[in-house]
Structure 1
């Protein structure tokens, strides 16, 4: 799966990693529901760090269609709320 982190670029990520990422996504969703800004920031950074660590960056000139788009590390709680679907940022 191709994942885009807004403002950074794209990463190719094996589907096997989505269990780990979904745990962070669920935690992020709970923190957002509680308006826990500090927890939200910590978990968003952990989620993005996991994508970077587990994925393989694509070259900047590569323009693959992104199957998943994640917010930038400096995105606000309100901005991320606008990106959410019923499952959080990561479907499944």
Structure 2
């Protein structure tokens, strides 16, 4: 799956990694719902770090459609809230 981190670029992430990413996504959603700003920051950073660690960056000149778009590391809770679906940021 091609994942875009806003402001950074695109990475290809194997479907086998989405269990780990969904665990972080669930934690992020819970922290947002409870208003835990510190937990939200920590978990958003961990989610983006996991995508960077598990993914393979696409070349900057690649023009592939992103199947999943994640917020920038400095996104606010409100900005992320607007990006959510019923499943969080990551479907499944």
* Per-residue deviation, 1:4: 0.2
List runs of 5+ in structure 2 lacking aligned partners: none
When the two structures are superposed, what TM-score results if normalisation uses the length of structure 1?
A: 0.99
- CA drift at 1:63: 1.1
What is the CA–CA distance in structure 2 between the aligned matches of 1:4 and 1:37, rounded to whole Å?
23
Q: Gaps (5+ residues) in structure 1?
A: none
Cα RMSD of the aligned pairs, angstroms, is 0.3
Within-5 A mapping of 1:54-65: 54-65=54-65
* Structure-2 separation of matches of 1:36 and 1:73: 16
For normalisation by structure 2, the TM-score amounts to 0.99
